[in-house]
Chain A
Amino acid sequence: MISLIGFSGLILSFIFNVIVIVSYYYKINQRFNHIFYLALYCSLFFMCLSFFALMFAYISSDFSNFNVFQNSHSSKPLLYKITGTWGNHEGSMLLWLLIMSLYNVFFSFNITLEDHVRKLTIVFQSFLYLCFSLFVILTSNPFLVNSIDSNEGLGLNPILQDPALAIHPPVLYIGYVGFSLILSLALAGLILNQLDNLWIQVIKRWAMFCWLMLTGGIALGSYWAYYELGWGGWWFWDPVENVSLMPWITGLALVHSLMITKQEQLLKRWVVFLSILCFSLSILGTFLVRSGILTSVHSFAADASRGIFILILFLTITGFSFIIFILKSPHSNKQINLLFINKTSALIINNIVMLIACITILLGTIYPIIIEVLTNKRMSVGAPYYNSTVLPILLPGFLIMSIAPMLSWQSNKLDKIKNYIYILIVTSILTLLITYLTKFNIWGFTGTILGLWIIAASLLSILHNCLKYKFKKFFIYNNALIAHMGVGIMIIGITFSSIFQTKNNFTIQTGEIVNSGQYSLQLKNLKIEEKNNFQELLGIFLLHKKNEFLTTIKSSKRYYYVSKVITTEAGIYHDWFQDFYLVLGNEKNNKWSITIYHNPLVSFIWIGVMIMIFSGMVGIFKR
């Protein structure tokens, strides 16, 4: 019954989107104006109905629904029943549709744009909705009826039973899918030749919002990977991570380019190109992940017919957009002179750097496919490739970021350059001294100094602004600089946690004490606990630092009955400057093997990201 309601909602929502497009086509007749918006709202209503029907089926453990049967289990806690709705391929595609529909309706309340641009944007968004809706209905219907009668489900992938991961997909999708609206806006602007200031103002806000959400989603995902996978790291260059990173980078370039377009009225063609590219990469990423063409920790059930369907969608949408781009692309009358040393040229160089980084990641991600097609050999591209290509490419970008605050927008003149030079030299000497006296590592040194430069230059700029505006609207004037400080903090965190990470293996008995660095760790006891849907082997450790008791750390392994999977839960002690990361291993002769990681400054990564998101949000609301 509930499946029927859900499926009807899906179909009705599809029909109402067709009505939106048809009523636009007959727009000459003013009567259809009401129908246009009414159909739009109806489509959202039925989409919500469909989504909540699926959610209800999950909450009530309705195993007559095949999707619920495959992915849920009655003993699962309520929270994970709810989040189970989007923890699988079909449900997540339904979430995708819901978010597309929400964007469309929220966008229709926009009053800045002229009526015909807004309407055409809505029509394009509806068209995109239809494409993906067709995909869901034909290949990934979440409302199939279970052919066997069962009063128990097969369970959710237990690794997904985690609060951070429960909200990771929605946040990520709000960003990832939101780029569809950016594409619609770009197409509408192109076709109507309306790439004016209003258009830029509107697309800037929406692009910023999507990009921030994507940032948040990626950060949540990597935070989850950090404490759940028990590998001691937070980024693994997994294909799924890569495909979310690509639109993130182009989105970053887009958000920054929109700054110059507003200031300089240049580069409209570039902005439109990036707008198209963002969603194209989103679809390509979806294709790579959902077709099962690449293997990763995010395993969705692979299905070739789905793969071909998304590939056709990718080809149609992207191909169509790029053809429109070729035909209608705007001409800028002013040529940009890159010889200028100003903010505009710095941003353009940074844009190029980001695009190259994105292409490098794309190449690494699809290279195995190309090789297998051409030579029939299976190979994989891993972290060494990305670390040795992407990171060096990003370095000049960070360098420019650190000197950017001292450049001016229009002229070739350098502002108050002395102060900047002093502060950069002082930080460099200090860093050099400190690294020289401790462990010198060229990558560690480079990362630290770039991060410090960015922070120092941004701070100095903020100081100048404060002297000028006397703390009036502090966040409004300085939000971009604060965001850059966040980036600096993040770079330092990334550098330290990846280069100065130490890893030690021990075997330990109950009551025994092992020493690792300044810390000493005692295994207090081990116990087995029976939980609702898993059995947990829990090791309780006492952590001391210089003979002073700090905390008890719990590190455990879980065995999930239904899916028969063992997961590790790393025990982490967060310090401001160092994470103590403990993974429980296997038993041998009554001794347990444990792995201890010291991850310096990991918290800086999360703090940096939070600063970026916060100041970005301020940017959306500023006039």
Chain B
Amino acid sequence: MNKIFLFVPLILVMLISIFCLVFLLQGKDPSKPPSALLYKNLPDFDIINLFDDADVISNKDLKGRIMLINFFASWCSPCKVEHPLFFEIKKKYPNILLIGIDYKDKQEEAINYLNTMGNPYDYVGMDNKGLIGLELGVFGLPETFIVNSKGIITYKHLGPLTKKIITNEFAPFIQ
């Protein structure tokens, strides 16, 4: 009788491990909180063209195409890492509208940055006060959103993109 009790901790350890293992293998990641905006309409906002202050467009004008919105800045190092990938995205999916939003940055530095790194975006907006970022709940750079043709946010990624993410995770939303 007494001996049976000795097995209790071992059995408990096994059970806890099994549950945790199953949890891990299911690939659930609670560190990615579901964004409050996911599967909702893209909030309305106006964007000022980075290269031309007078050119203002509203994102309502852009509906009808799949959009990829990328928040970047000249001061952001990981943005430099993911930057070349946008050229590849552009090449691979020519239909999508690539929008870059320069977040909390100086205009001339951002222009300088795009001149040296190249400009993959169809349209570059300026958000030097972080207002658009606030609308979209941006809290770290880089951040990337995919908006479908009905103007609904279908995907959000925090941190620099990688080739793996683009091939594995983007595909269903882009095609």
Contacts and interface: CB of A to CB of B under 8 A. Distances in A.
B10 interface: yes
B160 to A, nearest CB: 10
A467 to B, nearest CB: 44
Contact of B104 (A276, A284, A314, A564): A564
A372 B10 contact: no
A299 interface: yes
A322 B24 contact: no
Given A147-B81, A302-B29, A564-B141, 12 more contacts: A154-B77, A154-B78, A284-B16, A293-B30, A295-B30, A314-B13, A315-B14, A319-B13, A329-B6, A366-B16, A369-B20, A373-B23
B90 interface: no
Minimum-distance CB pairs A-B, first 9 = A302-B31, A322-B10, A292-B31, A326-B6, A315-B17, A295-B30, A307-B24, A318-B13, A373-B22
A417 interface: no
Contact of A369 (B10, B19, B29, B78): B19
Interface of A: 69, 147-148, 150, 152, 154, 273, 276-277, 280, 284, 287-288, 291-295, 299, 301-302, 304, 307-308, 311, 314-315, 318-319, 322-323, 325-326, 329, 366, 369-370, 372-373, 378, 563-565
B140 A366 contact: no
Given A293-B20, A366-B16, A564 B78 contact: no
A148 B6 contact: no
B14 A319 contact: yes
A220 to B, nearest CB: 25
Given A154-B77, A308-B21, A329-B6, A373 B13 contact: no
Contacts of A273: 9
30 contacts: A152-B77, A154-B77, A288-B20, A291-B24, A292-B31, A293-B24, A299-B31, A301-B31, A302-B29, A304-B24, A307-B20, A311-B17, A315-B14, A315-B17, A319-B14, A322-B9, A322-B10, A322-B13, A325-B6, A325-B9, A326-B3, A326-B6, A326-B10, A329-B6, A372-B23, A372-B28, A564-B104, A564-B140, A564-B141, A565-B139
Given A152-B77, A291-B24, A564-B104, A280 B6 contact: no
Interface of B: 3, 6-7, 9-10, 13-14, 16-17, 19-31, 33, 75, 77-78, 80-81, 104, 139-141
Nearest to B77: A150
B30 to A, nearest CB: 5
A346 B161 CA distance: 60
A301 B7 CA distance: 35
Contact of A295 (B10, B31, B141): B31
Contacts of A563: 140
A372 B20 CA distance: 10
Contacts of A147: 81
Query: Is chain A's interface secondary structure helix, strand, loop, or mixed overall?
Result: helix
Contacts of A154: 77-78
B19 A373 contact: yes
A145 to B, nearest CB: 14
A144 B103 CA distance: 29
B7 to A, nearest CB: 6
Given A292-B30, A292-B31, A563-B140, A280 B24 contact: no
B80 A148 contact: yes
A273 B13 CA distance: 13
Nearest to A294: B30
A338 B21 CA distance: 40
B48 to A, nearest CB: 21
B13 A315 contact: yes
Nearest to B7: A326
A564 B133 CA distance: 12
Nearest to B24: A307
Nearest to B28: A372
Nearest to A327: B6
B69 to A, nearest CB: 18
B112 to A, nearest CB: 16
B77 A319 contact: no
Contacts of B14: 315, 319
Contacts of B23: 293, 369, 372-373
A302 B80 CA distance: 23
Contacts of A69: 77
A315 B16 CA distance: 9
Contacts of B27: 304
Nearest to B21: A311
A147 to B, nearest CB: 8
A293 B25 CA distance: 11
Contacts of B17: 311, 314-315
Most buried by B among A273, A294, A318: A318
Nearest to A150: B77
Nearest to A304: B24
A366 B31 contact: no
A538 B3 CA distance: 64
A104 to B, nearest CB: 25
A277 B16 CA distance: 14
Contacts of A372: 23, 28
B31 A319 contact: no
Contacts of A378: 30
B13 A280 contact: yes
Nearest to A301: B31
Nearest to B22: A373
Nearest to B133: A564
